[in-house]
Amino acid sequence: MPAAPALHASTPARLFSVASLALAALVSEQAYAAPLKFKRQSSAPASITLVTNLAFNRNPGGLINQVTVLQQRYGTPAGDSSSGSSDSAPQPPMPAIADAQFYGSVTVGSPAQSFRVLFDTGSSDFWIPSSDCADAPCAAHSQFVSLSSSSFVSTGRSVSTQYGAASTIGTTATDTVVVGPLTLPQCPFVLATSEPDASSKSTAFDGILGLAPSVSSPLSASVFALHLSRGGAEASLDIGAPDSAHFTGELSYTPRTSTTQWKVALDRVRIGDTTLAAASTPAVLDSGITLIGVPPATSDAIHASLKSIPFAGGMHIVPCTGGPDVVLAVAGRTFTLHNEDYVMPYGFGYCVSLFVSLEAPGGAWVLGDAVMRRVYTVFDGAQSRVGFADAV
């Protein structure tokens, strides 16, 4: 991901149109320039239960929005960007929803107010709706009442950001935030005062808590792991240490290769007998996205082997069964994605391929939930490394 653009002081009324990391840079620069300090409620590892949004799996509309998120974060998705159709694959309704598969709860304020958030390793944003927001998407979700919190401090900067098709305008603030066993006093976040895009009304979560490396990100300097489920089983965010009940075998670690992303170097990737990625190919772990972003030539090779039908936004319609395994090697280990791991039901007997053509800097891959459902992933900010094991 390109570095965030430089930000300059301005009057409170001025709005900054920034991408994910730029928003986080603004929050950390203006509200909390030092790394966050936290208090542990317990010395033992703890887990936050993540809700699996089964509605996401029943309708591929959310994937269309996620292609836009990929474009905003990492580059330009290649391929057909029209809304076209195929005679061979009839078109079910495609609602414009900006949603995700997994989310959990945190509290903000004193006394605590609870919010459902998307735990997003692909951004450093942390925002929740404000009670001052009168837009329909805000009213459909929990809203933070700042006057009810004795620890709330407004830091008075106006910002705007974009998540897929949905935009958010708000003001920066700090307050006490509790994430599982961690209590974070004076944690910076953004109070959304406007969510004008109507598609945000249907999201299952209230806000986003970014976990990408940043001084403003609540967990990025500690150890946390994602255990994402398949088929509606329980999922969790494990905090403080990996949970051995959520993986099999030993964890294998590889260095994080970026100061602003959870980026690692892949050893190789192949589908059948075809090599898709050679040693040292960069890959970003992004839990805010279900898709797998790959370079255009790689996408062509994958979808040729899957006998796909081109669809919209660089996506492809594929058969739901019979696809070859994709073997991903990282940290000296190999992990296998089966056919059911990289497709999502579309309708009329077809599936949507979760591989998307993406022109990212350095030919980077983006590994979303489709990979992390199969691979237990540990984000170790203390030692700047990422661990992998087979998920259970």
Sequence letter at residue 69: V
Q: Tell me which DSSP letter residue 75 carries.
A: -
Q: Quick count: other Cβ atoms within 10 Å of Cβ 315?
A: 27
* Most distant CA pair in the chain, distance: 61
Q: Which residues are catalytic?
A: 120, 286
- For residue 102, the number of C-alpha atoms closer than 13 Å in the C-beta half-sphere is 28
Q: What Cα–Cα distance (Å) separates residue 211 from each residue in 126, 184, 262, 264, 366?
A: 9, 14, 9, 16, 16
Strand bridging mode 235-239 / 223-227: antiparallel
Q: Tell me which DSSP letter residue 113 carries.
A: E
What lies within 8 Å, CB to CB, of 65 at 6+ separation is: 96, 97, 98, 99, 164, 165, 166, 199
For 111, counting Cβ atoms within 10 Å of its Cβ (0-12 exposed, 13-18 middle, 19+ buried), the class is exposed
